[in-house]
Amino acid sequence: MRNFKRNKISILLCAIGTLGLSGNALADDQIEDGWVAGFIEYYNPDSDKPEPFEYLDDGHGIGAELGLRFSPRWAGRIEWSHLDIDAIDGFDDETGDRLGVDALYFLDQKSVYLFAGVKHEKLDTSYRMANVGIGKHFQINDNWRVIAEAASYYDFGQDYNDFGLKLGIAYTFNTESNQHKAAAPTPPPPVTQQVAEPISLDTDGDGIFDQADKCPGTPKTDKVDANGCSILMEKSYSVVLNILFANNSSEITDPESPEFQKFADFMQRYGSVYAEIGGHTSAVGEADYNQKLSEERANKVRQLLIDRYDIDASRLTAKGYGETELLDDSGTAEAAKKNRRIHAKVSTTVETKVKR
């Protein structure tokens, strides 16, 4: 029975060793200084344990370990495991703890390692054991590893040989002292890089480097051309002033009309435009009289825009059109009402910035 168990141990140790030796090597700067891990394990006690009853069979366990790597090759750890061992007859299962320490030797800085140590196991009785084995850390990312191990345990007092397989996950970390020890001063950048850095600045953040930017300081909201200048597009704006008058009158009945304010706002916003205030009448009455009345209406509106709405007089002209530009020539009362009016239209073309 013991020979069979030893052959099984040898086969499993060779299998995990072959798997481990085929893994990738860890670079010097990837070697962790320490790790904490949790694991599960399969545990197979010696079939003669405990004599003379021979009732212990396979079992399992859970555990944890804390390890510290002193150099690229050497590490040490403390390990604890809680075991639950089945009985061959199905009764009187044994549970207990195993506690010990191991020294680990990493092969050629790889993640494969050999380990040996001493353990104290407490099941039905206490056992003092030496153990040897092989394991591997499978790297998941910079901080996490999967641990796989196979180990053989030899009891000093009663010549028992146990065997175990372990699978766990470990979080690796760097100790502060080793971080300080490993830290090296950062060399200054090459002279060419130091010279190039100020040249390659983009101070206004428009995507054009300063040395090629012909329009520094453009707003970040503006779309720019290859020279770093805001892209402009022409856009037309206009406003229309329409004021109606009573029959045979040039009096402005509503000087607070929103029509005046809208027109004045446009003139204030676009200071380079000029406007003609055009007066009109209906076709009722003599043409000469209607011409004079249209001029009075135009001049009254012009003066109102100057006095009340602060538009520069030089930007406004007044012209009477009499009955020459009728909107409705049907001769009805409603047509006459439409024709008694002031009409002014101002347009301008403005270059506006294109936004990103």
Q: Is 256 exposed, middle or buried (0-12, 13-18, 19+ CB in 10 A)?
A: exposed
Angle between helical axes of 287-307 and 258-269 (0-180°, round to 10): 60
Say what the pLDDT of residue 95 is: 86
| Distance of alpha carbon 266 from alpha carbon 222, whole angstroms | 24
Strands 161-173 and 34-44: antiparallel
Model pLDDT for residues 74-98, shown as the tens digit of each residue: 999 999 999 988 776 655 678 889 9
| Distance of alpha carbon 32 from alpha carbon 25, whole angstroms | 13
Task: Judge whether 2-175 and 233-353 match in fold.
Answer: no
| Distance of alpha carbon 231 from alpha carbon 58, whole angstroms | 80
Say what the pLDDT of residue 135 is: 94
Say what the pLDDT of residue 345 is: 84
CB atoms within 10 A of CB 24: 9
Domain boundaries, the chain: 2-175, 233-353
Q: Mean pLDDT across the stretch 327-339?
A: 88
Model pLDDT for residues 95-118, shown as the tens digit of each residue: 889 999 999 998 865 689 999 999
Q: Is the pLDDT of residue 337 over 70?
A: yes
- Banded pLDDT at 2 (limits 50, 70, 90): very low
What is the percent of the chain where pLDDT is above 70? 80
Positions of E strands within the chain: 34-44, 56-69, 74-87, 94-106, 112-122, 126-139, 144-155, 161-173, 232-244, 275-280, 316-320, 341-353
- Banded pLDDT at 344 (limits 50, 70, 90): confident
Q: Is the pLDDT of residue 1 over 60?
A: no
Say what the pLDDT of residue 119 is: 94
Asked whether 233 and 354 are in contact (CB, 8 A), the reply is yes
Q: Is the pLDDT of residue 159 over 50?
A: yes
Q: Euclidean distance between the first and final Cα of the chain, in Å?
A: 82
What residues form DSSP beta bridges with 328? none
Q: Mean pLDDT across the stretch 116-139?
A: 90
The chain-wide mean pLDDT, for the chain, equals 81
Domain 2-175, CATH among 3.30.2130.10, 2.30.30.60, 2.40.160.20, 3.30.1330.60: 2.40.160.20
Say what the pLDDT of residue 185 is: 59
Beta-carbon contacts of 39 under 8 Å, excluding residues fewer than 6 positions away, are 62, 63, 64, 65, 81, 147, 166, 167, 168, 169
pLDDT: which is higher, 2 or 216: 216
Model pLDDT for residues 163-207, shown as the tens digit of each residue: 999 999 999 988 654 444 444 556 666 655 555 555 578 888 888
Contacts 24+ apart (CB under 8 A), 202-210: 204/228
List the CATH code of the domain at 233-353: 3.30.1330.60
Q: What is the pTM of this model?
A: 0.44
Say what the pLDDT of residue 115 is: 96
| Distance of alpha carbon 222 from alpha carbon 231, whole angstroms | 7
Model pLDDT for residues 247-301, shown as the tens digit of each residue: 888 889 889 989 899 999 988 888 888 899 999 999 888 999 999 999 999 999 9
- Tell me how long the chain is: 356
The one-letter amino acid at 280: H
